[in-house]
Amino acid sequence: MKTPNHILVFQTAFLGDVILTLPMIQVLHKRFPLASIDVVTTPIASELLAHHPAISNVIRYDKRKTQKGISGMLSLASQLRKRHYDLAVVPHRSFRTSLIVGLSGINNRIGFSTASGSFFYTHIVKYEKSKHEIERNLSLIFPLDIFVEHKELPSLYPSSSERTAIDQFLFEREILNYHMLIAIAPGSVWKTKRWLIERFSELSKILADAGFEIIIIGGKEDAELGKSIIETAKHKNIHDATGKMTLLQSAELIRRCKTLVTNDSAPLHISVAMRTPVVAIFGATVPEFGFAPYGKDDVVVETKNLSCRPCAIHGGNECPIGTFVCMKNIEAVAVAAKVKSLIIK
């Protein structure tokens, strides 16, 4: 395969998946510094990729709304064809993605063996379930004779405006000591991946009583969770930022924290990208799926040796057996101890 000049990366899965694609993009940029690297992703994920030095252009694909259906797929394929890419690297494994890339006129197309429509790819890479997702994505560039022996972490790049917004947010709340700042992200798309909200409240109060400033983070969809923690814990050191920040503003806030406590969800991977240690709580899913926090000091809290766990690759909206012991067995005092030990490490 010739040295590529115009590279396309296609990843329209969840926010966390997009972040876990960044190490592969960063390595491609290091290996081919003169090549342009464009990324097709969702509108929400496109916000996270702003300012990234390895990415030339972000192409927004709104597959759920304005570009849904066959017409949206054909329109995007036509758009990609006009850009004359010579290489496509595709971590996303849906048939829709495979078809779009297959119709794009790109001569060299690399995808996973487990991708629906893998026959659209010219180079197929085995999907290794036992590896971390970052390492799986990096294996997609093996056909380019690129083999990464070091640990490549994702990176995000909040701008000066995002930094200023966080300065203002903290100033208004008279938070000046970042050494006592902890972020907590109680949300997840999947309910069985959420630790109990009353435990998050209890944890917040334990840490606030210990002198820490607690910031509850999340999107607009997490606002009720944030409100519940504030109303239950009732502590002046607990502050609600749910629904109040952009993704990169949240990333900048996480960067300033000593640690983040989160479920198995996107904030986990944002925190890794910002080099803030993570205490990650796993319930329905398990770290062995390949989506564990990837930083050297990160901690996973989980209930082991349950015959019912894991119950689903992504989690679900209710516990299949009605007990939810995977989360109920995790106590707030135990998580607080992990947080404190991580901070003083």
Q: Report pTM.
A: 0.96
Domain range enclosing 170 = 160-343
Q: Which residues of 262-299 are buried (b: 16+ CB within 10 A; e: fewer)?
A: bbbbbbbbbbbbbebbbbbbbbbbbeeebbbbbbeebb
What confidence category does residue 179 fall into, taking pLDDT thresholds of 50, 70 and 90?
Answer: confident
Write down which residue in 144, 175, 202 finishes a domain.
144
Q: Give the total number of structural domains in the chain.
A: 2
226 and 286, same structural domain? yes
253 and 193, same structural domain? yes
Identity of residue 69: G
238 and 204, same structural domain? yes
248 and 117, same structural domain? no
Q: Is pLDDT above 80 for 345?
A: no
Whether the CB-CB separation of 55 and 25 falls below 8 Å is answered with: yes
Tell me the residue length of the chain.
345
180 and 305, same structural domain? yes
180 and 326, same structural domain? yes
Mean pLDDT, residues 6-25 = 97
- Nearest to 89, CA basis, from 25, 146, 134, 41: 25
Phi, psi values for residue 303, rounded to 5°: -95, 110
CATH of the domain at 213: 3.40.50.2000
Q: In the chain, what is the straight-line distance between the N-terminal and C-terminal CA atoms, in Å?
A: 47
Lowest mean pLDDT among 27-41, 102-116, 303-317: 303-317
Q: pLDDT tens, 124-159?
A: 999 999 999 999 999 999 999 999 989 999 999 999
Q: pLDDT tens, 206-249?
A: 999 999 999 999 999 999 999 999 999 999 999 999 999 999 99
Take residue 34 and report the two structure tokens written for it: 């003169």
Write down which residue in 110, 144, 178 finishes a domain.
144
Take residue 212 and report the two structure tokens written for it: 């820490």
